[in-house]
Structure 1
Amino acid sequence: MKKYIAASMIMFLSCFILFSAVSVPAAEKVAEKAKSQVDDILSKIEARYGGPGFSAVFTQKSYLAAMQMTEEATGSAIFKKPGKMKWTYETPEKQLIVTDGVTLWIYRPEDSQVMTGKPESYLADGKGGSLLSDVKMIRKKFDVTYTGKNANGDHELKLMPKELTGALTKAGLVISAQSFDILKIVYENEYQDKTELNFKDLKFGLNPSDAEFDFKIPEGVHKLKLGSQEKD
């Protein structure tokens, strides 16, 4: 009996060692293939967004976990490298979010209010769709994992921040398998809030004027600093 048990154990260990010897290289090959696939997709995204600027129509859904409430908005956006963006919200109310890469303005005409500050305070690490102003930020700021294709056959990527410098805890992208347009960005934060941005009617090859991103504050509006309730 002891000889049988010993022989069985030797056979088991032999199979285990053989399996391990085979599975480790196999696992490495799978990991290398996945990394190569992510690199290929990111390279094609970077090529697609390689021009000086582009525009898009967007819809936005924001889920506020603490209030268990979902808000929806629509509008259009225009981008120019490096770091210039203008988001024009049409519904549910008019709003403008503009940055020239140095200053950020958030203008709410219905409230006769404009908030100003540094872009980093609102758009750091890809938040607020800012990664669209420089898609190379995806590689620099996130660990990227390919999670497969959705029902439409488009690529899905999971983005985990390399450094947790703010409330953003993870993000996701949906990429067109044909054009490599970014069709959707999803953000989640530490409070379990979730923002989803969907894009359509993308137009590339644009080179908008810098003046497009230089917001002139209208006379008579209330001016606030971002992160403060004190007026200028």
Structure 2
Amino acid sequence: MLKQLLAAASAVLMVLGTASYAQDGSSANALRDALAATTSLRGQFTQTLRDAEGEVIESSDGSFVLQRPGRFFWHTKTPFEQQLISDGDTIWLYDPDLMQVTVRPVNDNLKTTPAALLSESAEGLAEAFRITRSVGQDGHEVFGLAPINDDDSLFARLELEFDGPQLLRIVVHDSLRQTTEFALTDTERNKPVAAEQFTFDAPEGVDVLID
């Protein structure tokens, strides 16, 4: 599930950073317009993982905070608690039940995943992804992002669904034909966020694993 979480968080973050970019075609321009005014996003999520036949493998829910550039706090609350946190340079994965935190740097590979997506520069987004635009259910706008370099990505395709300026849904398609859907609710844009939200200090007794 870590792979899917990184993909979703990155996707939102990288796209949050798209103030302007010059990829040709109206799809890129429309995505820019949808996201240009957003510097931070917070809310609740429900995550559903499905296999290639569409059967539900597992589901979870929690809360999130995303801020450009590259910062996120992804808190899974049920069925098992986990926290995925990044300040843009380091990622912490904290498992309270196991009393351990895994620490890893944000390298180039992770920057092409969906939690970094919303924080990347506009030029970086246009260089890294092929962007398409379509109309989904209820007339919602759906943007598809396919990595240009498939070897370096954690996902095969990503979809972002909007109702006007409101981001409703993120869908991550992986190379095994599994899909992970993140339905976002109670979202708020551009609210102040304390810097401490995106760092992690291991509580006493927690094992620290360096990856």
TM-score clears 0.5: yes
Maintained 8 Å contact 1:46/1:135? no
Letter in 2 for 1:106: L
User: Which of 107, 113, 126 is matched with 2:100 structurally?
Assistant: 113
The letter of the residue matching 2:196 is A
Structure 1: gaps of 5 or more residues: 1-34, 227-232
Q: Give the whole-Å Cα distance in 1 for the aligned partners of 2:176 and 2:210.
A: 24
Flag the structure with larger Rg: 1
Aligned residue in 2 for 1:153:
139
Match of 1:38 in 2: 27
3-state SS, counterpart of residue 137 of structure 2:
coil
Distance 2:47 2:72 in 1: 16
Partner of 2:44: 57
Q: 2:178 is matched with which residue?
A: 193
**Residue-pair matches, total:** 185
Q: 1:61-109: CA deviations, max 9, x gaps?
A: 12356xx761111111112221110011111111110011111100010
1:120-175 CA deviation, whole Å, 9 max, x = no partner? 38843133x432334835434210112x3222110112211111213422111212
Q: Higher helix proportion, which one? A: 1
Structure with the larger RCO, 1 or 2 (CA within 8 Å, 6+ apart): 2
- Write the deviation string for residues 181-224 of structure 1: whole angstroms up to 9, x where unpaired: 22111112222232211112111122312111110011112222
Work out whether residues 155 and 174 of structure 1, in 8 Å CA contact, stay in contact via their aligned partners in 2: yes
Secondary structure at the counterpart of residue 110 of structure 1 = coil
Stretches of 4+ aligned residues off by more than 4 angstroms: none
- The TM-score with structure 1 as length reference comes to 0.71
Letter in 2 for 1:155: E
| Residue identity in the other structure for 2:177 | Q
Q: Distance in 2 between matches of 1:167 and 1:123?
A: 8
Deviates more, 1:82-91 or 1:162-171: 162-171
1: CA distance between counterparts of 2:141 and 2:100?
Answer: 40
* Match status 1:221 vs 2:196: no
Mapping of residues 122-161 of structure 1, within 5 Å: 123-127=110-114, 129-134=115-120, 136=122, 138-146=125-133, 148-161=134-147
> How does 1:17-96 map onto structure 2 within 5 Å?
36-49=25-38, 51=39, 53-63=40-50, 70-96=57-83
The aligned residue for residue 148 of structure 2 is 162
Q: Percent identity?
A: 25
Query: Match for 2:149: what amino acid?
Result: E
| Cα distance, 1:58–1:93 mapped onto 2, change above 3 Å | same
- Provide the aligned C-alpha RMSD in A: 2.4
Q: Could you say which residue in structure 2 is the equivalent of 1:5?
A: none
SS at match of 2:176: coil
> Structure 2 unaligned runs (5+)?
1-23
**3-state DSSP of counterpart to 2:183:** strand
SS in 2 for 1:40: helix
Q: How does 1:202-213 map to 2 (within 5 A)?
A: 202-213=187-198
1:207 to 1:158, Cα distance in 2 relative to 1, 3 A:
same
